[in-house]
């Protein structure tokens, strides 16, 4: 029997929910057989599209779709310089699509190809923000009423709202926040939620790397008594050595990794057990192939998975997360931003959310498709990104 080969690869850019998404479609020599993968780098969509269509498509044309491991390494090494977010997302789109194709050819969901389910559904956490502790508490209770057991709480978004702020003359434009105010408000928020909502709900928090390293250590200590499920992204990849200090100071569980793109950013964190949850953005590390290997590595060191699942992951990417989650024995929790009706119309076959859990369908492959005609009605916004132009009170640029 002749091998099924890659005929063409395209990147589809769309924004049905207002957030830029990139989905890769790998078409094969078998009529009607294709696969989809997520390559979403919401703030550099055109760069990813260029890599997919101008470099990966000609590189892979005519190659056997069954050789996923071989093709992943070929894509990763072909540019010589490797492990950057643009190339990784492009590789991810193709990698996920190849797994989707393999599942369709086998007549099995991807989770079956990866070893089968470890659980019937995936427990997720939801987000509760607000302008005041009382508003956050109200939103936490709303999720609890829906059956959600894990809620990430914030007050005023990442870094908190500052209102008026004393800035120097000629301060640059940007999104300003105060690390000191954010620290104080966060401690007060947790005290309020535990006092008014109780201890049954599992609480999470994301600092989004908005604090200086030593302040992150202090916040981890302050939050220990509130029994967090995890404390997320307290440090940027460049400063992760500070995790050793956090470990010596407290037992607050640490979740880290949504900015990771290179294995050298996380291999020592796993080997030294400096984190409790790995929080990678699956498309940013290169897709299902490396994410499954990472999950297995983490299992050996007692570290659980908590893959990134915000609005700037496409429904195809969410489906890939769910398939990985269903298989991993060391699964911890899945972030779930929700999928609205418009996204469901553009992407038939989305995973289903119910009572705090997400379920994969049993269709072959990733079980999800795309309506390209409808997707074309929602063009991406490729203008300048504003939310990442964050600044401290004196006007210094702060990494988001």
CA distances, 74 to each of 21, 79, 225, 263, 269 (Å):
25, 9, 48, 17, 27
Residue 170 scores a pLDDT above 80: yes
pLDDT attached to residue 160 = 87
- From 356, 358, 323, select the one nearest 125 (Cα to Cα): 356
pLDDT attached to residue 162 = 79
**pLDDT tens digits for range 292-335:** 999 999 999 999 999 999 999 999 999 999 999 999 999 999 99
Residues marked active site are found at: 158, 208
Residue 36 phi, psi (nearest 5): -120, 145
| Cα gap 229→220, rounded to integer Å | 12
**pLDDT tens digits for range 348-361:** 999 999 999 999 99
Question: What CATH number is given for 113-362 in this structure?
Answer: 3.20.20.120
Handedness of CA 101, 105, 107, 112 (dihedral sign): negative
Strand partners, 64: 5
Strand partners, 358: 122, 353
Q: Is the CB of residue 188 less than 8 Å from the CB of residue 161?
A: no
- From 368, 346, 393, select the one nearest 172 (Cα to Cα): 393
Confidence of residue 1 (pLDDT cuts 50, 70, 90): low
* Cβ neighbours, 10 Å, residue 357: 18
Handedness of CA 45, 64, 77, 274 (dihedral sign): positive
CA distances, 199 to each of 29, 127, 183, 192, 202 (Å):
56, 17, 22, 12, 8
**pLDDT tens digits for range 43-89:** 999 999 999 999 999 999 999 999 999 999 999 999 999 999 999 99
**pLDDT tens digits for range 215-254:** 999 999 999 999 999 999 999 999 999 999 999 999 999 9
Polymer length in residues for the chain: 400
Q: Is the CB of residue 179 less than 8 Å from the CB of residue 212?
A: yes
| Cα gap 9→28, rounded to integer Å | 9
pLDDT attached to residue 95 = 99
**pLDDT tens digits for range 257-273:** 999 999 999 999 999 99
| Cα gap 39→89, rounded to integer Å | 4
pLDDT attached to residue 154 = 96
| Cα gap 203→150, rounded to integer Å | 6
As given in the structure block, the two tokens for residue 67 are 């050789």
If you average pLDDT over residues 331-346, what whole number do you get?
97
As given in the structure block, the two tokens for residue 227 are 């029994």
The residue extents of the domains of the chain are: 113-362
**pLDDT tens digits for range 98-149:** 999 999 999 999 999 999 999 999 999 999 999 999 999 999 999 999 999 9
The whole-chain average pLDDT of the chain stands at 97
Residue 195 scores a pLDDT above 70: yes
Confidence of residue 379 (pLDDT cuts 50, 70, 90): very high
> Among the residues of 198-286, which ranges form H helices?
213-223, 243-249, 267-271, 282-285
pLDDT attached to residue 2 = 84
Confidence of residue 191 (pLDDT cuts 50, 70, 90): very high
| Cα gap 186→340, rounded to integer Å | 30
| Cα gap 320→261, rounded to integer Å | 18
């Amino acid at each position: 029997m002749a091998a099924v080969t890659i005929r063409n690869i395209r990147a589809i850019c769309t924004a049905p929910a207002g957030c830029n998404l990139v989905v890769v479609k790998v078409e094969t020599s078998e009529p009607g057989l294709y696969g989809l993968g997520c390559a979403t780098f919401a703030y550099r969509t055109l760069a990813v599209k260029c890599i997919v269509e101008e470099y990966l498509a000609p590189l892979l044309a005519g190659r056997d779709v069954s050789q996923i491991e071989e093709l992943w390494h070929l894509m990763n090494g072909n540019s010589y310089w490797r492990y950057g977010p643009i190339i990784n997302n492009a590789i991810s789109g193709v990698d996920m699509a190849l797994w989707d194709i393999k599942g369709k050819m086998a007549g099995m969901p991807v989770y079956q190809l990866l070893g089968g389910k470890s659980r019937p559904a995936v427990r997720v956490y939801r987000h509760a923000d607000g302008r005041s502790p009382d508003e956050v508490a109200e939103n936490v209770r709303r999720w609890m009423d829906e059956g959600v057991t894990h809620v990430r709480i914030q007050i005023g978004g990442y870094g908190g709202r500052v209102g008026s702020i004393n800035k120097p003359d000629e301060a640059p434009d940007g999104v300003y926040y105060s690390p000191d105010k954010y620290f104080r408000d966060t401690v007060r928020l947790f005290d309020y939620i535990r006092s008014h909502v109780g201890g049954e709900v599992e609480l999470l928090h994301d600092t989004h790397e908005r604090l200086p390293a030593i302040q992150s250590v202090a916040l981890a200590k302050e939050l220990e008594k509130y029994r967090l499920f995890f404390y997320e992204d307290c440090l940027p990849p460049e400063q992760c050595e500070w995790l050793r200090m956090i470990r010596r100071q407290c037992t607050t569980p640490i979740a880290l990794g949504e900015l990771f793109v290179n294995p050298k950013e996380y291999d020592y964190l796993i080997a030294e057990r400096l984190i409790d949850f790995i929080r990678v953005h699956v498309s940013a590390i290169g897709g299902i192939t490396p994410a499954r290997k990472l999950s297995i590595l983490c299992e050996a060191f007692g570290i659980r998975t908590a893959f990134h699942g915000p609005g700037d992951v496409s429904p195809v990417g969410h489906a890939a997360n769910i398939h990985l989650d269903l298989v991993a024995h060391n699964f911890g929790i899945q972030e779930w931003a929700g999928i609205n009706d418009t996204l469901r119309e553009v992407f038939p076959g989305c995973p289903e959310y119910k009572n705090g859990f997400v379920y994969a369908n049993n269709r072959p492959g990733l079980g999800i498709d795309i309506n390209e005609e409808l997707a074309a009605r929602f063009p991406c916004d490729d203008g300048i990104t504003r939310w990442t132009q964050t600044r401290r009170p004196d006007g210094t640029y702060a990494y988001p």
